[in-house]
Structure 1
Amino acid sequence: MIKEIPPMLSFSRIGISMILPFIEVFSPLFLLLVAVAALTDVFDGIISRRMGFPAEKGRMLDSIADGFFVVSLLICIIPNIVLEDWMIIWIAALAIFRIIAIAVGSIRFGKAAFLHSYLNKATSAGIYLSPVLIAFIGVPATIVILGILATVSTMEHFYYNLTSDEYDPNAKGVFFVKKN
Protein backbone atom coordinates (compact mmCIF):
# COMPACT_ATOMS: atom_id res chain seq x y z
CA MET A 1 0.00 0.00 0.00
CA ILE A 2 2.75 2.47 0.92
CA LYS A 3 4.49 1.95 -2.42
CA GLU A 4 1.30 3.15 -4.12
CA ILE A 5 1.50 6.59 -2.46
CA PRO A 6 3.97 8.21 -4.93
CA PRO A 7 2.00 7.21 -8.06
CA MET A 8 -1.24 8.23 -6.32
CA LEU A 9 0.29 11.66 -5.66
CA SER A 10 1.32 12.00 -9.32
CA PHE A 11 -2.12 10.87 -10.50
CA SER A 12 -3.73 13.35 -8.12
CA ARG A 13 -1.69 16.11 -9.80
CA ILE A 14 -3.07 14.98 -13.15
CA GLY A 15 -6.56 15.07 -11.62
CA ILE A 16 -6.00 18.57 -10.27
CA SER A 17 -4.78 19.59 -13.73
CA MET A 18 -8.07 18.45 -15.21
CA ILE A 19 -10.16 20.25 -12.57
CA LEU A 20 -8.21 23.52 -12.58
CA PRO A 21 -9.71 24.94 -15.82
CA PHE A 22 -13.16 24.80 -14.21
CA ILE A 23 -12.14 26.86 -11.15
CA GLU A 24 -12.13 30.65 -11.11
CA VAL A 25 -8.55 31.70 -11.82
CA PHE A 26 -6.74 33.37 -8.92
CA SER A 27 -9.58 32.47 -6.51
CA PRO A 28 -8.66 31.00 -3.10
CA LEU A 29 -9.76 27.54 -4.32
CA PHE A 30 -7.59 27.87 -7.44
CA LEU A 31 -4.56 28.89 -5.36
CA LEU A 32 -5.23 26.06 -2.90
CA LEU A 33 -5.34 23.50 -5.72
CA VAL A 34 -2.09 24.87 -7.16
CA ALA A 35 -0.50 24.57 -3.70
CA VAL A 36 -1.78 21.00 -3.31
CA ALA A 37 -0.40 20.13 -6.76
CA ALA A 38 2.97 21.59 -5.74
CA LEU A 39 2.99 19.49 -2.58
CA THR A 40 2.21 16.32 -4.54
CA ASP A 41 5.15 17.14 -6.82
CA VAL A 42 7.48 17.52 -3.85
CA PHE A 43 6.31 14.52 -1.87
CA ASP A 44 6.01 11.91 -4.62
CA GLY A 45 9.76 12.07 -5.19
CA ILE A 46 10.70 12.31 -1.51
CA ILE A 47 8.60 9.29 -0.57
CA SER A 48 9.89 7.26 -3.53
CA ARG A 49 13.52 7.96 -2.69
CA ARG A 50 13.14 7.38 1.06
CA MET A 51 11.27 4.11 0.58
CA GLY A 52 13.57 2.90 -2.22
CA PHE A 53 10.77 2.39 -4.73
CA PRO A 54 11.57 1.67 -8.39
CA ALA A 55 12.46 5.00 -9.90
CA GLU A 56 12.06 4.71 -13.69
CA LYS A 57 8.27 4.46 -13.86
CA GLY A 58 7.84 6.95 -11.02
CA ARG A 59 10.02 9.56 -12.72
CA MET A 60 8.14 9.08 -15.98
CA LEU A 61 4.76 9.45 -14.29
CA ASP A 62 6.03 12.50 -12.37
CA SER A 63 7.20 14.14 -15.60
CA ILE A 64 3.89 13.38 -17.32
CA ALA A 65 1.99 14.85 -14.36
CA ASP A 66 4.23 17.94 -14.52
CA GLY A 67 3.41 18.32 -18.21
CA PHE A 68 -0.32 18.06 -17.56
CA PHE A 69 -0.06 20.64 -14.79
CA VAL A 70 1.95 23.16 -16.82
CA VAL A 71 -0.45 22.93 -19.77
CA SER A 72 -3.46 23.23 -17.47
CA LEU A 73 -2.00 26.24 -15.66
CA LEU A 74 -1.22 27.96 -18.96
CA ILE A 75 -4.76 27.25 -20.21
CA CYS A 76 -6.13 28.82 -17.04
CA ILE A 77 -3.87 31.84 -16.67
CA ILE A 78 -3.15 33.03 -20.22
CA PRO A 79 -6.75 34.02 -21.08
CA ASN A 80 -6.95 35.95 -17.80
CA ILE A 81 -3.88 38.14 -18.20
CA VAL A 82 -2.65 40.61 -20.77
CA LEU A 83 0.34 39.31 -22.68
CA GLU A 84 2.41 41.35 -25.07
CA ASP A 85 3.57 39.75 -28.32
CA TRP A 86 7.13 39.21 -27.03
CA MET A 87 5.76 37.28 -24.05
CA ILE A 88 3.67 34.98 -26.25
CA ILE A 89 6.63 34.35 -28.56
CA TRP A 90 8.91 33.60 -25.60
CA ILE A 91 6.43 31.17 -24.00
CA ALA A 92 5.81 29.41 -27.34
CA ALA A 93 9.54 29.19 -28.12
CA LEU A 94 10.23 27.71 -24.68
CA ALA A 95 7.53 25.09 -25.16
CA ILE A 96 8.84 24.16 -28.61
CA PHE A 97 12.49 23.97 -27.52
CA ARG A 98 11.61 21.97 -24.39
CA ILE A 99 9.77 19.42 -26.55
CA ILE A 100 12.72 19.30 -28.97
CA ALA A 101 15.18 18.82 -26.07
CA ILE A 102 13.14 15.90 -24.75
CA ALA A 103 12.82 14.43 -28.27
CA VAL A 104 16.58 14.70 -28.88
CA GLY A 105 17.32 12.91 -25.62
CA SER A 106 14.67 10.30 -26.28
CA ILE A 107 16.19 9.52 -29.67
CA ARG A 108 19.76 9.47 -28.32
CA PHE A 109 19.03 7.37 -25.24
CA GLY A 110 16.13 5.25 -26.50
CA LYS A 111 13.78 6.36 -23.71
CA ALA A 112 11.88 9.47 -22.72
CA ALA A 113 14.67 11.79 -21.60
CA PHE A 114 13.15 13.94 -18.88
CA LEU A 115 15.78 15.59 -16.71
CA HIS A 116 15.22 16.30 -13.01
CA SER A 117 18.06 18.82 -12.62
CA TYR A 118 18.21 21.59 -10.05
CA LEU A 119 17.36 24.12 -12.76
CA ASN A 120 14.33 22.12 -13.89
CA LYS A 121 13.17 21.82 -10.28
CA ALA A 122 13.62 25.57 -9.77
CA THR A 123 11.62 26.21 -12.95
CA SER A 124 8.85 23.95 -11.67
CA ALA A 125 8.82 25.83 -8.36
CA GLY A 126 8.53 29.10 -10.27
CA ILE A 127 5.63 27.75 -12.32
CA TYR A 128 3.79 26.71 -9.16
CA LEU A 129 4.40 30.17 -7.71
CA SER A 130 3.38 31.99 -10.90
CA PRO A 131 -0.19 32.85 -9.82
CA VAL A 132 1.17 34.45 -6.63
CA LEU A 133 4.02 36.17 -8.49
CA ILE A 134 1.55 37.64 -10.99
CA ALA A 135 -0.52 39.04 -8.12
CA PHE A 136 2.45 40.60 -6.34
CA ILE A 137 4.90 41.71 -9.04
CA GLY A 138 2.73 41.74 -12.17
CA VAL A 139 2.72 39.87 -15.43
CA PRO A 140 5.80 41.39 -17.15
CA ALA A 141 8.12 40.82 -14.18
CA THR A 142 6.79 37.28 -13.68
CA ILE A 143 7.29 36.46 -17.36
CA VAL A 144 10.85 37.82 -17.31
CA ILE A 145 11.84 35.97 -14.13
CA LEU A 146 10.26 32.66 -15.12
CA GLY A 147 11.26 33.12 -18.75
CA ILE A 148 14.94 33.51 -17.88
CA LEU A 149 14.82 30.55 -15.51
CA ALA A 150 12.97 28.37 -18.02
CA THR A 151 15.27 29.45 -20.86
CA VAL A 152 18.40 28.50 -18.92
CA SER A 153 16.90 25.19 -17.76
CA THR A 154 15.74 24.36 -21.30
CA MET A 155 19.22 25.14 -22.65
CA GLU A 156 20.71 22.92 -19.93
CA HIS A 157 18.26 20.13 -20.79
CA PHE A 158 19.13 20.43 -24.48
CA TYR A 159 22.88 20.52 -23.80
CA TYR A 160 22.68 17.54 -21.47
CA ASN A 161 20.72 15.47 -23.99
CA LEU A 162 23.15 16.38 -26.78
CA THR A 163 26.43 15.84 -24.94
CA SER A 164 25.94 13.37 -22.11
CA ASP A 165 27.53 9.95 -22.51
CA GLU A 166 24.63 8.22 -20.80
CA TYR A 167 21.14 9.06 -19.64
CA ASP A 168 20.79 9.90 -15.97
CA PRO A 169 17.40 11.47 -15.26
CA ASN A 170 18.63 12.51 -11.83
CA ALA A 171 21.66 14.44 -13.09
CA LYS A 172 21.72 17.57 -10.96
CA GLY A 173 22.83 19.71 -13.89
CA VAL A 174 25.41 19.98 -16.64
CA PHE A 175 28.19 20.74 -14.17
CA PHE A 176 27.50 17.44 -12.39
CA VAL A 177 27.59 15.13 -15.44
CA LYS A 178 30.22 12.40 -15.41
CA LYS A 179 32.25 12.15 -18.59
CA ASN A 180 34.06 8.98 -19.69
Structure 2
Amino acid sequence: MIQLPNIITLLRIAGSLGLLFSDVTGVVYWIIYALCGISDIVDGWLARKLKCVTKKGALLDSLADICFVACCAWKLLPILDLPQWLWLLGGVIVAIKIVNQFSALVKYGRCCFPHTTANKITGLLLFIAVPMTFCTVIPIAIVATITTFAAINEGCVIVRKI
Protein backbone atom coordinates (compact mmCIF):
# COMPACT_ATOMS: atom_id res chain seq x y z
CA MET A 1 0.00 0.00 0.00
CA ILE A 2 2.86 2.34 0.80
CA GLN A 3 4.21 2.01 -2.76
CA LEU A 4 0.85 2.71 -4.42
CA PRO A 5 1.59 6.39 -5.16
CA ASN A 6 4.88 5.43 -6.85
CA ILE A 7 3.13 2.70 -8.84
CA ILE A 8 0.59 5.26 -10.05
CA THR A 9 3.45 7.58 -11.01
CA LEU A 10 5.17 4.78 -12.95
CA LEU A 11 1.89 4.10 -14.74
CA ARG A 12 1.83 7.80 -15.74
CA ILE A 13 5.26 7.36 -17.32
CA ALA A 14 4.01 4.28 -19.19
CA GLY A 15 0.88 6.17 -20.26
CA SER A 16 2.97 9.11 -21.43
CA LEU A 17 5.03 6.79 -23.60
CA GLY A 18 1.76 5.28 -24.85
CA LEU A 19 0.81 8.73 -26.15
CA LEU A 20 3.68 8.46 -28.61
CA PHE A 21 1.98 5.49 -30.24
CA SER A 22 -1.50 7.00 -30.30
CA ASP A 23 -3.17 9.16 -32.92
CA VAL A 24 -3.69 12.69 -31.58
CA THR A 25 -7.02 12.86 -33.40
CA GLY A 26 -8.22 9.62 -31.84
CA VAL A 27 -10.14 8.97 -28.65
CA VAL A 28 -7.42 6.67 -27.26
CA TYR A 29 -4.89 9.51 -27.16
CA TRP A 30 -7.21 11.75 -25.17
CA ILE A 31 -8.25 8.97 -22.78
CA ILE A 32 -4.58 8.27 -22.03
CA TYR A 33 -3.98 12.03 -21.75
CA ALA A 34 -6.83 12.37 -19.22
CA LEU A 35 -5.67 9.35 -17.20
CA CYS A 36 -2.12 10.72 -17.05
CA GLY A 37 -3.39 14.10 -15.88
CA ILE A 38 -5.65 12.60 -13.25
CA SER A 39 -2.88 10.29 -12.03
CA ASP A 40 -0.67 13.34 -11.50
CA ILE A 41 -3.19 14.67 -9.00
CA VAL A 42 -3.98 11.30 -7.41
CA ASP A 43 -0.41 10.12 -6.74
CA GLY A 44 0.55 13.16 -4.66
CA TRP A 45 -2.76 13.24 -2.83
CA LEU A 46 -2.50 9.54 -2.04
CA ALA A 47 1.11 9.86 -0.85
CA ARG A 48 0.07 12.57 1.59
CA LYS A 49 -3.03 10.64 2.68
CA LEU A 50 -1.04 7.44 3.31
CA LYS A 51 1.75 9.46 4.93
CA CYS A 52 4.31 7.99 2.58
CA VAL A 53 5.72 11.14 0.97
CA THR A 54 9.37 10.54 0.08
CA LYS A 55 12.11 12.38 -1.79
CA LYS A 56 12.30 9.40 -4.15
CA GLY A 57 8.56 9.64 -4.84
CA ALA A 58 8.77 13.41 -5.39
CA LEU A 59 11.66 12.92 -7.83
CA LEU A 60 9.77 10.15 -9.64
CA ASP A 61 6.73 12.45 -9.87
CA SER A 62 8.85 15.22 -11.39
CA LEU A 63 10.37 12.80 -13.90
CA ALA A 64 6.87 11.58 -14.81
CA ASP A 65 5.79 15.20 -15.32
CA ILE A 66 8.75 15.83 -17.61
CA CYS A 67 8.01 12.63 -19.53
CA PHE A 68 4.32 13.56 -19.91
CA VAL A 69 5.08 17.09 -21.13
CA ALA A 70 7.80 15.86 -23.49
CA CYS A 71 5.58 13.15 -25.02
CA CYS A 72 2.67 15.58 -25.44
CA ALA A 73 4.98 18.17 -26.98
CA TRP A 74 6.44 15.57 -29.36
CA LYS A 75 2.97 14.70 -30.63
CA LEU A 76 1.24 18.08 -30.51
CA LEU A 77 3.80 20.74 -31.42
CA PRO A 78 4.20 19.59 -35.04
CA ILE A 79 0.46 19.90 -35.69
CA LEU A 80 -0.37 23.06 -33.74
CA ASP A 81 -0.19 26.44 -35.44
CA LEU A 82 1.50 28.47 -32.71
CA PRO A 83 2.72 32.03 -33.20
CA GLN A 84 6.48 32.62 -33.25
CA TRP A 85 6.45 34.59 -29.99
CA LEU A 86 4.93 31.60 -28.21
CA TRP A 87 7.72 29.35 -29.49
CA LEU A 88 10.22 31.91 -28.20
CA LEU A 89 8.52 32.04 -24.81
CA GLY A 90 8.62 28.24 -24.68
CA GLY A 91 12.36 28.42 -25.36
CA VAL A 92 12.77 30.95 -22.55
CA ILE A 93 10.92 28.63 -20.15
CA VAL A 94 13.12 25.67 -21.12
CA ALA A 95 16.24 27.84 -20.71
CA ILE A 96 15.14 28.96 -17.23
CA LYS A 97 14.44 25.33 -16.24
CA ILE A 98 17.91 24.28 -17.48
CA VAL A 99 19.57 27.12 -15.55
CA ASN A 100 17.59 26.07 -12.46
CA GLN A 101 18.91 22.53 -12.70
CA PHE A 102 22.45 23.73 -13.39
CA SER A 103 22.18 25.95 -10.28
CA ALA A 104 21.03 22.97 -8.22
CA LEU A 105 23.88 20.84 -9.53
CA VAL A 106 26.43 23.52 -8.66
CA LYS A 107 24.96 24.31 -5.24
CA TYR A 108 23.86 20.84 -4.09
CA GLY A 109 25.57 18.39 -6.42
CA ARG A 110 22.23 17.07 -7.71
CA CYS A 111 19.14 18.06 -9.63
CA CYS A 112 16.24 19.54 -7.72
CA PHE A 113 12.58 19.70 -8.72
CA PRO A 114 10.75 21.68 -6.03
CA HIS A 115 7.02 21.11 -5.95
CA THR A 116 6.12 24.74 -5.51
CA THR A 117 2.54 25.94 -5.49
CA ALA A 118 3.28 27.83 -8.71
CA ASN A 119 4.52 24.63 -10.39
CA LYS A 120 1.43 22.71 -9.25
CA ILE A 121 -0.91 25.40 -10.56
CA THR A 122 1.02 25.55 -13.83
CA GLY A 123 0.75 21.77 -14.26
CA LEU A 124 -3.00 21.84 -13.73
CA LEU A 125 -3.52 24.80 -16.06
CA LEU A 126 -1.31 23.25 -18.73
CA PHE A 127 -3.27 20.00 -18.56
CA ILE A 128 -6.53 21.92 -19.07
CA ALA A 129 -5.22 24.36 -21.71
CA VAL A 130 -3.57 21.90 -24.10
CA PRO A 131 -6.79 20.47 -25.57
CA MET A 132 -8.15 24.02 -25.98
CA THR A 133 -5.15 24.95 -28.12
CA PHE A 134 -6.77 23.27 -31.11
CA CYS A 135 -9.39 26.07 -31.05
CA THR A 136 -7.37 29.07 -29.90
CA VAL A 137 -3.88 29.81 -28.62
CA ILE A 138 -5.12 32.17 -25.90
CA PRO A 139 -5.28 29.57 -23.06
CA ILE A 140 -1.84 28.15 -23.84
CA ALA A 141 -0.42 31.68 -24.13
CA ILE A 142 -1.76 32.52 -20.67
CA VAL A 143 -0.38 29.28 -19.24
CA ALA A 144 3.01 29.90 -20.90
CA THR A 145 3.17 33.30 -19.25
CA ILE A 146 2.30 31.82 -15.85
CA THR A 147 4.81 29.02 -16.44
CA THR A 148 7.55 31.59 -16.97
CA PHE A 149 6.89 33.07 -13.54
CA ALA A 150 6.65 29.57 -12.01
CA ALA A 151 10.05 28.67 -13.50
CA ILE A 152 11.58 31.84 -12.07
CA ASN A 153 9.99 31.06 -8.70
CA GLU A 154 11.40 27.54 -8.87
CA GLY A 155 14.87 29.00 -9.41
CA CYS A 156 14.48 31.23 -6.35
CA VAL A 157 13.45 28.22 -4.25
CA ILE A 158 16.45 26.22 -5.49
CA VAL A 159 18.87 29.03 -4.69
CA ARG A 160 17.42 29.54 -1.19
CA LYS A 161 17.15 25.90 -0.09
CA ILE A 162 15.94 22.45 -0.98
| TM-score exceeds 0.5 | yes
Q: Is the contact made by 1:31 and 1:131 (CA closer than 8 Å) also made in structure 2?
A: no
Distance 2:25 2:107 in 1: 41
Which segments of 5 or more consecutive residues in structure 1 lack a partner in the other structure? 168-180
Kindly provide the amino acid, as one letter, of the partner of residue 151 in structure 1. Answer: T
Q: 1:147 aligns with which of 144, 150, 155?
A: 144
Which segments of 5 or more consecutive residues in structure 2 lack a partner in the other structure? none
Secondary structure of 2:110's match?
Answer: coil
Q: Which residue of 1 aligns with 2:5?
A: 6
Q: Which residue of 1 aligns with 2:54?
A: 55
Q: Which residue of 2 aligns with 1:161?
A: 158
Distance 2:63 2:155 in 1: 18
Q: Is the contact made by 2:126 and 2:140 (CA closer than 8 Å) also made in structure 1?
A: no
For residue 105 of structure 1, report the CA deviation from its aligned partner. Answer: 2.4
Distance 1:54 1:115 in 2: 14
Distance 1:87 1:53 in 2: 39
Kindly provide the amino acid, as one letter, of the partner of residue 67 in structure 2. Answer: F
Kindly provide the amino acid, as one letter, of the partner of residue 104 in structure 2. Answer: G
For residue 53 of structure 1, report the CA deviation from its aligned partner. Answer: 1.4
Aligned-pair Cα RMSD in Å: 1.6
Residue 55 to residue 28, structure 1, CA distance change in 2 (3 Å) = same
For residue 54 of structure 1, report the CA deviation from its aligned partner. Answer: 4.6
Q: Is the contact made by 1:16 and 1:37 (CA closer than 8 Å) also made in structure 2?
A: yes
Distance 2:93 2:53 in 1: 31
For residue 66 of structure 1, report the CA deviation from its aligned partner. Answer: 0.5
For residue 37 of structure 1, report the CA deviation from its aligned partner. Answer: 0.5
For residue 112 of structure 1, report the CA deviation from its aligned partner. Answer: 2.3
Question: What TM-score, normalized by structure 1, do the two folds share?
Answer: 0.83
Kindly provide the amino acid, as one letter, of the partner of residue 14 in structure 1. Answer: I
Secondary structure of 1:111's match?
Answer: coil
Distance 2:127 2:53 in 1: 26
Distance 1:146 1:54 in 2: 28
Residues 8-23 of structure 1: pairs in structure 2 closer than 5 A: 8-23=7-22
For residue 89 of structure 1, report the CA deviation from its aligned partner. Answer: 1.3
For residue 58 of structure 1, report the CA deviation from its aligned partner. Answer: 0.3
For residue 106 of structure 1, report the CA deviation from its aligned partner. Answer: 3.5
Q: Which residue of 2 aligns with 1:73?
A: 72
Distance 1:26 1:103 in 2: 37
Which consecutive aligned stretches of 4+ in structure 1 deviate over 6 angstroms post-superposition? none
Question: What TM-score, normalized by structure 2, do the two folds share?
Answer: 0.92
Alignment of 1:96 with 2:69, yes or no, is no
Deviations 1:63-101 (A, max 9, x none): 000010010111111011112221211112211211211
Q: Which residue of 1 aligns with 2:63?
A: 64
Distance 1:135 1:80 in 2: 9
